[in-house]
Structure 1
Amino acid sequence: MSKLVKTKALYSLVPEYLAPLFDSCEYPWEMLPKIKEYILSLIKMGIPGYTLISENVLVGENVRIYPTATIEGPAIIGSGSEVRPGAFIRGNVITGAGCVIGNSSELKNCILLDKVQIPHYNYIGDSVLGYKAHTGAGTICSNLKSDGKAVVIHGDVDYETGLRKIGGILADGADVGCGSVINPGTVIGKNTSVYPLTALRGVYPSDCIVKSTKEIVKRV
Structure 2
Amino acid sequence: MTDQLLQPQSLFDLSDPATAALFDGCDTVWQALPQIKRHVARLTEGGRRIDGTVLDGAWLGEAAIVIEAGAVVEPGAYIVGPAYIGAGAVVRHGAYVRENVILLAGSTLGHASEAKNALFLPGAAAPHFAYVGDSILGHRVNLGAGTKLSNLGILSAKDAATGKRPTIKLVIDGVEYDTGLTKFGAILGDDAQTGCNAVLNPGCIIGPRTLVYANTSVRKGYHPADSIVKLRQNVRVMARE
TM-score normalised according to structure 1 size:
0.89
Asked if the contact 1:28–1:128 (Cα under 8 Å) also holds between the matched residues in 2, the reply is no
Q: Which residue of 1 aligns with 2:222?
A: 203
Residues 1:150 and 2:151 aligned together: no
Q: Who is 2:181 aligned against? A: 163
- Percent of aligned positions with the same letter in both sequences? 41
2:210 corresponds to which of 192, 200, 214? 192
For residues 80 and 46 of structure 2, what CA distance do their matches in structure 1 show? 20
Residue 87 of structure 1, aligned match among 67, 79, 95? 95
Q: Residue 127 of structure 1 aligns to a residue in which SS?
A: strand
Whole-angstrom CA distance in 2 between matches of 1:212 and 1:203: 17
Partner amino acid for 2:42? S
Instruction: Give, in whole Å, the separation in 1 of the partners of 2:139 and 2:231.
Output: 24
RMSD: 2.1
Structure 1, unpaired ranges of 5+:
214-220
Matching residue of 2:148 = 140
Alignment deviations for residues 58-102 of structure 1 (CA, whole Å, 9 cap, x no partner): 111211111200011211011111111110000100011111111
What corresponds to 2:57 in structure 1? none
CA distance in 1, matches of 2:209, 2:17: 22
**Superposed displacement of residue 16, structure 1:** 3.2
8 A Cα contact 1:15 1:113, kept in partner: no
Distance (Å, rounded) in 2 between the aligned partners of 1:26 and 1:50: 34
Aligned length: 211
Residue pairs, 1:48-197, within 5 angstroms: 51=51, 55-148=63-156, 149-156=166-173, 157-197=175-215
Task: State the distance in 2 between where 1:144 and 1:105 align.
Answer: 18
Per-residue Cα deviation, 1:172-216 (whole angstroms, up to 9, x for no partner) = 011011101100000100100111000111211001111239xxx
**How much does 1:23 deviate?**
2.7
In 2: Cα distance, 1:161 partner to 1:23 partner: 17
CA contact (8 A) 2:3 2:28 kept: no
1:100-128 CA-partner distances (Å, limit 9, x unpaired):
11100000001110000101000000001
Larger RCO (CA under 8 A, 6+ residues apart): 1
